[in-house]
Amino acid sequence: MENNNESKKVIFSGIQPSGNPTIGNYLGALRNWVKLQDEFDCYFCIVDLHAITVKQVPKELREKTLEMLAIYLAAGIDPEKNTIFIQSHVPAHSEAAWLLTCNSYMGELSRMTQYKDKSKKYGDNDSIGAGLFVYPVLMAADILLYNTDLVPVGQDQKQHLELARDLANRFNNAYSPTFKVPEPYIQKAGAKIMSLQDPTKKMSKSDENANAYILIMDPPEVIRKKVSRAVTDSLGVVNYSDEQPGVKNLLNILIAIKGSTPEELVEYYKGKGYAELKKDVADSIIGELEPIQTKVKELLKDKAYLESIYKKGAEKAHYISMKTLRKMQKKIGFIPR
């Protein structure tokens, strides 16, 4: 069979199986991955080691991990073309993360905005999990183990990517060239979907207010309700402007799904109100998600099929990642077994 993977650039990305994935995850990450699978050698990981940086219920974590795999597949990620795997199945990730942790600084990690945001929730240092602090080092390990060229993520992960680049360069300089220095790959449309209740905040699956997000698995009537309740403004005119962040966010969802430009949409909604815009947004989200939801439900009935995919993915990922891990160990001065 044709195998020109050697010459293809490598893509790595992942989503945490914590909580329920939102259209932010879909439009900011997953949907873009699907477009990359022909051109690149792609590794798509379900990052369960990252998920346990906050408390998880074991049974739910198992369910969410399989559901995330089903969502990857239903969204159109082809297991024949890509390596799809579960992070905890590939021990090199945890090991490489430790080696990189010993080359990381407290200062750079404490400057990560995601850490600052998440740790705020837990109050004083005595109750902030250390996993939350070293989280971006594990992410760097994920990426660097596969000699990744490009990392397709939403805007919120850019800072973590910069850290991964710093850690790669630092290791390369301290020992000798080992890692490729990865680049972020952030698609403009969908890069930052905002909360429907507070459009100055990112849409997040961990928001306490369920009206703030739309889940990939939300039924159509729930999607309609949430979109119709989305916070807008009292101007009543559809503009694509930072002065109207709620309307802009709705337009961004349409732009990401339909591929239209802001100008086309503003022209189209001239003289029309928010109710019409909201109806179109809800219709387009439902149109996009319904086939995926049906497929996810079907896939979840076939656990043996899902297992065959994550097992095959783990084998390939294990093989590639061990090569890099051994290189790291050797350069650091560990005696090979």
Which residues form the interface with ligand TRP (CB under 6 A)?
12-14, 16, 47, 50, 139, 142-143, 151, 153, 157, 160
The residue (of 186 and 328) whose beta carbon lies closer to ligand AMP is: 186
* 312 among known catalytic residues: no
Tell me the two tokens of residue 234.
């009292």
**CA 122 to CA 13: how far, in whole Å?**
28
* 118 among known catalytic residues: yes
Closest distance of CB 145 from ligand TRP, Å: 10
Written in H, E and C, the secondary structure of 293-309 is HHHHHHHHCCHHHHHHH
Closest distance of CB 266 from ligand TRP, Å: 31
Spell out the residues 6+ positions from residue 40 whose beta carbon is closer than 8 angstroms to its own.
8, 9, 10, 11, 149, 150
What is the x/- site pattern for ligand AMP, positions 134-173, by CB under 6 A? -------------------xx-xx----------------
The annotation status of 17 as a binding-site residue, yes or no, is yes
- Amino acid at site 96: A
Burial class of 27 by CB neighbour count within 10 A (0 to 12, 13 to 18, 19+): buried
- Residue of 64, 118, 248, 278 marked catalytic: 118
* 248 among known catalytic residues: no
> From ligand AMP, ligand TRP, none, which one binds at residue 151 (CB under 5 to 8 Å depending on kind)?
ligand TRP
The residue (of 153 and 168) whose beta carbon lies closer to ligand AMP is: 153
The annotation status of 142 as a binding-site residue, yes or no, is yes
What are the Cα distances from residue 26, in Å, to 37, 54, 56, 193, 264?
Answer: 16, 22, 22, 10, 23
Place of tokens 């219920």: 57
Residue ranges binding ligand AMP (CB under 6 A)? 15-16, 24-25, 28-29, 153-154, 156-157, 190-193, 202-203
Which residues form the catalytic set? 118, 202, 205
